[in-house]
């Protein structure tokens, strides 16, 4: 009886991690399975948007601070890589690093006064920040203003993070970013700092009474989240070969950070991947099948899914998975005669 309970406890605790490891083991094989360019494009976007959502999940899911301003940090990362190549004629790598550092610094500077607000006031403040940066970048000639930056064609390869004839290189770059960001979050889950973040999420006053510096925790979480978002932005501009403010610093982009995470399950490791695996294929295939007529269908369906999730299962898709697992577990126990009224 004890061994049975121990097996159940292990399964419930580690099932999500084991599923993630299984998916991770299969992902490098995807280019071998299919060489279709469109399917490769969809998989690249799934990995990218899952990474973006996981970056937001650090501050929004684990720390409980719902920010709608992450497109700012995403855009800073995109412009860091873009300017390194287009403006200065160099490699994207220094721009990626600078973009990460600048995004983290900007995140701390703008978040410190915003963290004095709470709840929906904090969320409204982050909305305003997106608009401020969007307007500033539109008129800033040094970074290209409203015209943005268009990439020149350079030698393909990892050195320039550019491939002309195949998307396989981009796929593996997106996979590396995916592994990096998900690995950081997995490490946070079992690290002291991760426990501090969850304590702040569950009750800031209670956490402070136990000696947790909630302001420092939130600022550190925001800086880390912003740096991860900047990496995603840098890859985004390398993949699209163009950047302008509406592409990267918009409320639409910020909402994708948040809604993908909520759909999949915020505050969980697998949630952002589940959300991206639903939204991105829906978005790309409706565009492919219906052309211009399908441009907004994916958003309508996605909005309906979010409404249903909020009403029926606030924990998101990961909550549905847990409910199904619990139901199957009860059915299995009943079939084996391990119910609560059975004699051990």
Chain segment 14-71, per-residue pLDDT in tens: 666 677 777 788 888 888 887 788 889 999 999 999 999 999 999 998 998 888 889 9
Please check whether residue 290 lies inside any domain of the structure: yes
Please check whether residue 300 lies inside any domain of the structure: yes
CATH number at residue 187: 1.10.3470
- Residue whose C-alpha is closest to residue 321's, from 23, 15, 57: 15
Please check whether residue 344 lies inside any domain of the structure: no
Per this entry, what is the length of the chain? 344
Element (H, E) at 242: strand 242-243
Which domain does 98 fall in, by range? Answer: 2-336
The residue ranges of DSSP E strands in 51-190, in sequence order, are: 149-150
Please check whether residue 60 lies inside any domain of the structure: yes
- Domain count along the chain: 1
Taking the C-alpha atoms of residue 205 and residue 18, their distance in angstroms, rounded to an integer, is: 35
Q: Using one digit for the tens of pLDDT, what is the confidence trace for 157-208?
A: 899 999 988 899 999 999 999 999 999 999 998 889 999 999 999 888 888 8
Q: Which residues contact 320 (CB under 8 A, 6 or more apart)?
A: 313
- pTM score, whole prediction: 0.86
């Amino acid at each position: 009886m004890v061994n049975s309970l121990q097996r159940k406890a292990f399964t419930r605790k580690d099932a999500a991690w084991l599923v993630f490891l299984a998916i991770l083991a299969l992902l490098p094989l995807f280019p071998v399975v299919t060489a279709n360019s469109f399917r490769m494009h969809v998989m690249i976007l799934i990995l990218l948007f899952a990474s973006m959502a996981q970056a937001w999940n650090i501050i929004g899911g684990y720390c409980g601070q719902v920010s709608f301003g992450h497109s700012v940090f995403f855009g800073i990362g995109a412009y860091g890589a873009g300017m390194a190549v287009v403006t200065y004629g160099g490699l994207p790598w220094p721009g990626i690093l600078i973009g990460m550092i600048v995004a983290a610094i900007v995140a701390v500077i703008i978040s410190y006064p915003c963290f004095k607000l709470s709840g929906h006031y904090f969320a409204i403040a982050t909305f305003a920040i997106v608009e401020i940066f969007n307007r500033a970048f539109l008129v800033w000639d040094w970074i290209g203003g409203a015209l943005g930056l268009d990439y020149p064609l350079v030698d393909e390869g990892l050195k320039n993070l550019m491939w002309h004839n195949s998307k396989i290189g981009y796929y593996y770059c997106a996979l590396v970013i995916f592994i990096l960001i998900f690995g950081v979050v997995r490490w946070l889950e079992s690290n002291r700092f991760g426990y501090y973040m969850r304590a702040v999420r569950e009750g800031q006053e209670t956490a402070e009474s136990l000696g947790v510096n909630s302001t420092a925790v939130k600022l550190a979480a925001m800086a880390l989240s912003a740096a991860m978002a900047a990496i995603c932005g840098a890859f985004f501009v390398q993949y699209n070969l163009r950047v302008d403010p509406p592409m990267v610093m918009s409320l639409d982009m910020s909402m994708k950070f948040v809604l993908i995470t909520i759909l999949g399950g915020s505050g969980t490791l697998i949630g952002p991947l589940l959300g991206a695996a639903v939204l991105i294929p829906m978005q790309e295939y409706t565009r492919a099948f219906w052309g211009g007529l399908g441009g907004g269908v994916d958003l309508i369906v996605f909005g309906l899914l979010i409404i249903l999730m909020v009403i029926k299962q606030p924990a998101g898709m990961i909550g549905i998975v847990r409910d199904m697992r619990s139901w199957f577990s009860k059915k299995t126990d009943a079939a084996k005669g391990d119910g609560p009224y059975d004699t051990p």
